[in-house]
């Protein structure tokens, strides 16, 4: 087992630290989805039962009580809520991909247990619980979904021959023992319309070998009980026959059937109807003994359940009594209200008559007031209309005046602009004339300077020529 566990991926298991935290359980696979089918998980998270009612449960014991009262099967979907007829392949009923339905309370509570992060002690309390087999079934299913495959056979080892029965199918019709359910968990991957997490092949081989080497003890016990019952019945009948009839050796010519039938008839003739009565009594006694044994077996397991049910029934009875008291008090209050209403009925009728007469007078006064108010309102409306007309006329006259003023001011401004533009043009012309005059003067000066320079050069050359001569 240890060698197989070393071959598995180390990232898939979150192992708890040793020492004080030995009570913490490891988790196999996905730590958020609990390795559930995605369709089942989405339906669980979106169901109002999980979001509203289970959200209020905060402790382990509250969830266990909810399992006791609400869980009636261990199937993932409720009966009739999921139609898989005519679907094949990946959309078939086994995969749980194509269609959804109403997810069962069992799987909602299973995921609620996962959110609580159970300890080893709490999980042992689930699988050894004595109140309901469905509490144990959810504990074993929690192990199958969350624990490493190498540890499954260690968890299930002491319960493979458990004889406690439960109905695992929605709507009933599939009764099996806890041991049979655990064997199916270990050997089969499918569970109704969903899949368990896959077990690695080497681990699965070891599990199959251990289960084959350990046959079911229930079948052996049943066969032993049947053999003991038949042996005791045959022994008692033989003793009675020996005590009442002498031994006879059957003749070789006669068949044993004939000899038995004739001896039986002879015993009837000898002993009469009293012998038949004794045989019937003996058979009835044996039947009662068998029924008593079965009852004893059932009663041993039901004693604890009865005591717990009694305690819970006492709590329920107290709640019912309180409800009845509250209901009786509400009924008495209603009866008192009815009596008061009957007594006050006459007073109300008188008050209604008085109020009716008063209402008539008030209506007349109101009509008069309405008429006077209507006249005054009409006068006010007429005055308001006249005022509005006068105001409109005044506004129109003021608007026309302002327009005239604006028109006049606009004309003046235009004339001013024109004058300014003319003055600017004149200034520009003057500047141009001045500039042209200055340019002409500068040209003349430059021309005179050139001529003077030429004359001076000519005079100097003449002097030089005279000096050379």
Count of CB atoms situated within 10 Å of the CB of 300: 9
Supply the pLDDT for residue 330.
76
Copy the structure tokens of residue 437: 């005059």
Supply the pLDDT for residue 6.
39
Please report, in tens digits, the pLDDT of each residue of the chain (469 residues total). 334 333 344 445 555 444 334 788 898 989 899 999 999 999 999 999 999 999 999 999 999 999 999 999 999 999 888 765 555 554 544 444 445 789 999 999 999 999 999 999 999 999 999 999 999 999 999 999 999 999 999 999 989 999 999 999 988 888 999 999 999 999 999 998 899 999 999 999 999 999 988 877 644 455 555 566 565 555 555 555 444 444 444 433 334 444 444 444 444 444 455 667 777 777 787 778 778 777 777 776 666 676 777 777 777 788 888 877 777 777 788 888 887 777 776 677 777 777 777 777 777 788 888 888 888 888 888 888 888 888 888 888 888 888 888 777 777 777 888 888 888 888 888 888 888 887 887 888 887 788 778 777 777 777 777 777 5
Phi and psi (nearest 5°) for 160?
-70, -20
Copy the structure tokens of residue 215: 């046959």
Pairing between strand 27-28 and 13-14? Answer: antiparallel
Can you count the helices (H) and strands (E) in the chain?
13, 6
What's the whole-model pTM score?
Answer: 0.46
Q: CB burial class (10 A; 0-12, 13-18, 19+) of residue 241? A: middle
Say how far apart CA 221 and CA 242 lie, in whole Å: 31
Q: Which residue, 133, 162, 167, 161, is CA-closest to 304?
A: 133
Say how far apart CA 162 and CA 218 lie, in whole Å: 8
Say how far apart CA 349 and CA 358 lie, in whole Å: 14
Q: Which residue, 104, 148, 105, 146, is CA-closest to 122?
A: 146
Supply the pLDDT for residue 9.
40
Residues contacting residue 300 through CB under 8 Å, at least 6 positions apart: none
């Amino acid at each position: 087992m240890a060698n197989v566990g070393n071959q598995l991926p180390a990232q898939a298991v979150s192992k708890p630290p040793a020492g004080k935290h030995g009570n913490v359980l490891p988790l196999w696979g996905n730590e958020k989805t609990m390795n559930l089918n995605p369709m089942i998980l989405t339906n669980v998270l979106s169901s109002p039962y999980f979001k509203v009612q289970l959200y209020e449960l905060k402790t382990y014991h509250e969830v266990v009580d909810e399992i006791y009262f609400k869980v009636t099967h261990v199937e993932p979907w409720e009966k009739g809520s999921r139609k898989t007829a005519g679907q094949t392949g990946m959309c078939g009923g086994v995969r749980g991909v194509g269609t959804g339905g109403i997810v069962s309370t069992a799987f909602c509570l299973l995921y609620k247990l996962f959110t609580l992060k159970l300890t080893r002690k709490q999980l042992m309390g689930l699988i050894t619980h004595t109140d309901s087999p469905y509490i144990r079934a959810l504990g074993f299913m929690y192990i199958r979904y969350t624990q490493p495959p190498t540890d499954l056979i260690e968890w299930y080892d002491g319960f493979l021959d458990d004889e406690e029965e439960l109905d695992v199918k929605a709507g009933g019709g599939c009764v099996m023992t806890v041991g049979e359910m655990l064997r199916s968990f270990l050997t089969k991957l499918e569970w109704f319309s969903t899949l368990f997490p896959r077990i690695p092949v080497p681990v699965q081989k070891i599990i199959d070998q251990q289960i084959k080497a350990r046959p079911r003890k229930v079948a052996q016990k049943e066969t032993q009980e049947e053999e003991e019952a038949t042996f005791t019945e045959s022994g008692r009948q033989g003793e009675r026959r020996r005590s009442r009839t002498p031994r006879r050796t059957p003749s070789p010519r006669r068949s044993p059937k004939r000899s038995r039938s004739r001896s039986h008839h002879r015993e009837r003739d000898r002993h009469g109807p009293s012998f038949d009565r004794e045989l019937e009594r003996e058979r009835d006694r044996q039947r009662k003994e068998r029924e008593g044994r079965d009852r004893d077996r059932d009663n041993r397991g039901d004693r604890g359940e009865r005591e717990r049910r009694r305690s819970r029934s006492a709590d329920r009875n107290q709640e019912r009594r309180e409800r009845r008291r509250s209901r009786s008090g509400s009924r008495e209050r209603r009866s008192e209200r009815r009596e008061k209403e009957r007594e006050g009925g006459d007073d109300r009728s008188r008050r209604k008559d008085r109020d009716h007469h008063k209402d008539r007078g008030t209506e007349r006064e109101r009509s008069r007031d309405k008429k006077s108010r209507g006249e005054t309102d009409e006068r006010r409306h007429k005055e308001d209309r006249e005022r509005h007309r006068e105001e409109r006329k005044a506004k129109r006259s003021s608007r026309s005046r302002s327009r005239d003023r604006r028109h006049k001011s606009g004309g003046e401004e235009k004339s001013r602009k024109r004058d300014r533009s003319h003055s600017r043009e004149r200034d520009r012309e003057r500047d141009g004339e001045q500039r042209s005059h200055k340019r002409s003067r500068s040209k003349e000066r430059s021309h005179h300077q050139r001529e003077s320079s030429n004359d001076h050069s000519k005079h100097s050359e003449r002097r030089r020529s005279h000096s050379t001569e």
